[in-house]
Amino acid sequence: MSRESGGGLRSKLWVAFVMQVVAIGLATLFGVYAAMLVLRDVLIKQALVNEAAHYWTLFDKDPGASLPNTYNMHGYARADGGTEVNIPAKLRGLAPGYHSVNQIGGDDLIFVSDHRGHRLWLIFDQEQVNKLALWFGFFPLALVLGAVYVVSFFTYRMSRSAISPIVRLAETVRALDPRQPDLASISPDHLPGNADLEVRTLAESIHSFAARNQEFLARERAFTRDASHELRTPLTVIKIAADIIVSEETLSNYGQRSMAKIRRAVSDMESLIQAFLILAREGDMSLKNEQILVNDIVRDVYERARGMVSQKAVELILDEQAQLVMDAPPAVLSIILTNLLGNACQYTDHGSIRVTVDREGVQIADSGCGMSADVLQRVFDPFFRGGDGSKPGHGVGLTIVRRLSDRFHWPIKLSSEPGVGTTARLCLPDTRLA
């Protein structure tokens, strides 16, 4: 996984803090705005209704009762049929009920009420309501909001400090070299003093896992080194002895054929051991890439395969349509091609085997017995053998081919038809024309 994918704990914590701050701010603004609406549309309107009812009660008792006149509200009255000279122009055309009149100084909330032929206008200065809401609503809430922000910020700092040992441990693990890991750097003793018990437990588990992994790698390297020597040495002795025996002039034709089988078996065993050793190594770090000409390796594999069909009515054809160069371990490519071509030679008793080198890679097409769709689906399974089992082998060749091709990202495509033959294509996407 890349460093950026998913984001880190610190970035997620920061995002959570910012979202919390924004949510609190929006909730506060919405609350102040909602309070202003309630104050204007509910409380003030109800107050105007009550003021009008109170005035009409006083008016019924004393027609000369004084009109309401306060700092925020004042009133006008007119008898039915009376003059409207003293009534402001903005009030004259208003029908009974609530009205909001816009003006330069601010909006006025006006309530018009009729009672026994008289009309009352009550004007409430809404600008005063806005100021009151601002001073007694917004500013106190702003102070509270600031206090909440300060507390949230300190909470964020404390949370960041709490996860810093985890972040540090993650960065240390990310920086480890898998080939030569510094186990001391992930030891619990190197954690900061504020590391929690859970972090120390995690560090101990990672340190223990890394130590065991180092032991496994050491044993793997020791096995690879010892196996490379102990398995190759007797094969070399057999190979040299076979070469000496073949050079004797008194060797019969039967002996010549027998020694050819021994030499071919030794060669196959060497290739198999080399493949196992490559697969046993950690990744492909111990394999060195070289600039190779693919055609040279194909020719070498082709020449070694000719002996496998020398006693059969099979024509082995090499068709080089392109000269390909690539950077890769030559042994790996040789093992894959040897197994593919060896299978073609083993299961083809008559007809032809064509080895083609083209711009896409290497193709091996034979006219052998072919495979059904069911067999083709299982051909890469370990120890699976197609046909009637009469052919020599243990069913691991194509398994090795698939594992090596997957490791080096060289796709293999197989197509086959019973009685017609099989075509295997090794795709080499990193090649270039020579």
CA angle 101, 107, 110 (to 5 degrees): 50
pLDDT classification of 1: cutoffs 50, 70, 90: very low
* pLDDT at residue 215, rounded to an integer: 82
* pLDDT at residue 422, rounded to an integer: 93
Higher-confidence residue of 317 and 307: namely 317
97-129 residue pLDDT tens: 988 877 655 677 889 999 888 889 998 877 766
77-91 residue pLDDT tens: 887 666 776 888 888
- One-letter amino acid identity for 98? Y
Check pLDDT > 80 for residue 398: yes
434 Cβ contact list (under 8 Å, min separation 6)? 293, 295, 323, 324, 325
Check pLDDT > 90 for residue 396: no
Check pLDDT > 90 for residue 428: yes
Mean pLDDT value of segment 299-325: 91
Q: Mean pLDDT score of the chain, rounded to an integer?
A: 80
- How many residues are present in the chain? 434
Check pLDDT > 80 for residue 391: no
Check pLDDT > 70 for residue 345: yes
Location of each CATH 1.10.287 domain in the chain = 179-285
Which token pair is 418?
């019973």
Mean pLDDT value of segment 358-383: 87
Q: Which fold has domain 287-433?
A: Heat Shock Protein 90 (3.30.565)
The distance in angstroms from the start CA to the end CA of the chain is 36
Q: Give residue 121's Cα distance to chain centre.
A: 70
Location of each CATH 3.30.565.10 domain in the chain = 287-433
CA angle 153, 156, 161 (to 5 degrees): 130
| DSSP string of 209-231, one letter each residue | HHHHHHHHHHHHHHHHHHHHHHH
Check pLDDT > 50 for residue 2: no
pLDDT classification of 369: cutoffs 50, 70, 90: confident
Which token pair is 222?
């020791």
- Residue 32: name the closest of 154, 176, 144, 107 by CA: 144
Residue 287, helix vs strand vs coil: coil
* pLDDT at residue 136, rounded to an integer: 66
Please tell me the distance from the alpha carbon of residue 328 to that of residue 272, in angstroms, as a whole number.
Answer: 19
| Residue indicated by tokens 């979202």 | 19
Structural domain 179-285, CATH architecture: Orthogonal Bundle (1.10)
Higher-confidence residue of 46 and 2: namely 46
Mean pLDDT value of segment 42-53: 85
